[in-house]
Amino acid sequence: MSFSLTMGVYMKIAIDGPASSGKSTIAKLLSKKLKFEYIDTGALYRAITYIINKENIDLQDEYKISNIINSSIFRFDKNKLYMNDICIETEIRKNIISKKVSEVAAQPYIRILINKVIRNTSDNSENIIIDGRDIGTVVLPDANFKIYLDASPKIRAKRRYIELIEKNEPVILEKLEEEIIERDYYDSNRAVDPLKIADDAIIIVTDDMNIGQVVNKIYDLVNNDL
């Protein structure tokens, strides 16, 4: 599948990586520091999963799901996702959505529609950071910087565990690690636009790095080029 975002954008940063590798945390801070627009593509796949789950829609009901995506307005305001003017940020971050999102994101027709949403959302941006799974390979193949964030499943599970516990979501650490490994497998092995390290990506392994160190590392790379 080919999709490339080229319109009107000057500096493009692609951030990819497996589940809970810190992409959105890093991208948010970086976008603030650089004053770039930020699009969290995982949030869009989560939004569709949330609606499908809430309304109990059959994933094969392409007509109904396409209609919902095409007739909805998605926007990010202060890095929170709004769908038709309703903030769905809390709902889409719940673990039940994390468990179901990979199957939804593997549907080729859904990927085509979400890529259209990404294009519409980013059309007016001059400088942009986009994060996800296929950003360096499919969405922004000509990005100025392609970052691939990684960390061991244990560390990633621990980070997600803390995040969910802080939100009062009851989760079990070992179970979370299993779910993360399973989601990575699913995302990396799907037929369409799988999670893959772009040939020209800069790989950053964050096991021994804190958030500030990762942000500064990418900031320095980009700043030297501005």
Helix (H) or strand (E) holding 156: helix 153-166
Task: Please choose, out of 41-49, 73-81, 168-176, 203-211, the segment that lies near ligand CDP by the rule CB under 6 A.
Answer: 41-49
Options 57-65, 82-90, 98-106, 199-207: segment touching ligand CDP (CB under 6 A)? 98-106
Q: Judged by CB, which is closer to ligand CDP: 100, or 217? A: 100
Query: What is the phi-psi region of residue 172: left when phi exceeds 0, alpha when psi lies from -120 to 50, beta otherwise?
Result: beta
| Pair type for strands 74-77 and 11-16 | unpaired
| Residue ranges in 99-118 that form contacts with ligand CDP under rule CB under 6 A | 101-102, 105
d(CA 88, CA 193): 26
* Nearer Cβ to ligand CDP (132/141): 132
Comparison of 44 and 68: residue with beta carbon closer to ligand CDP = 44
DSSP secondary-structure letter at 144? S
Check binding of 19 to ligand CDP (CB under 6 A): yes
Question: What's the CA gap between 201 and 209, in Å, rounded?
Answer: 19
Cα separation, 216 vs 226, whole angstroms: 15
Backbone angles phi, psi at 8, to 5 degrees: 55, 5
The answer to whether 96 and 83 are in contact (CB under 8 A) is no
User: Would you count residue 20 as binding ligand CDP (CB under 6 A)?
Assistant: yes
Verify binding: residue 136, ligand CDP, rule CB under 6 A: no
| Alpha carbon distance 210, 58 (integer Å) | 41
- Residues 162-191 close enough to bind ligand CDP by CB under 6 A: 183, 187
Identify the H or E element spanning 116.
helix 108-122
Q: How many residues bind ligand CDP (CB under 6 A)?
A: 18
Confirm or reject binding of residue 68 to ligand CDP (CB under 6 A): no
Which listed range, 7-15, 16-24, 119-127, 165-173, lies at the site for ligand CDP (CB under 6 A)? 16-24
Q: Is 206 in the site for ligand CDP (CB under 6 A)?
A: no
Q: Kindly state the smallest distance separating residue 84's Cβ from ligand CDP, in Å.
A: 20
Q: What is the DSSP letter of 206?
A: -
Angle, CA of 83, 32 and 69, to the nearest 5°: 20
Nearer to ligand CDP, 102 or 206 (CB): 102
What residues line the site for ligand CDP (CB under 6 A)? 19-20, 23-24, 41-42, 45-46, 98, 101-102, 105, 132-135, 183, 187
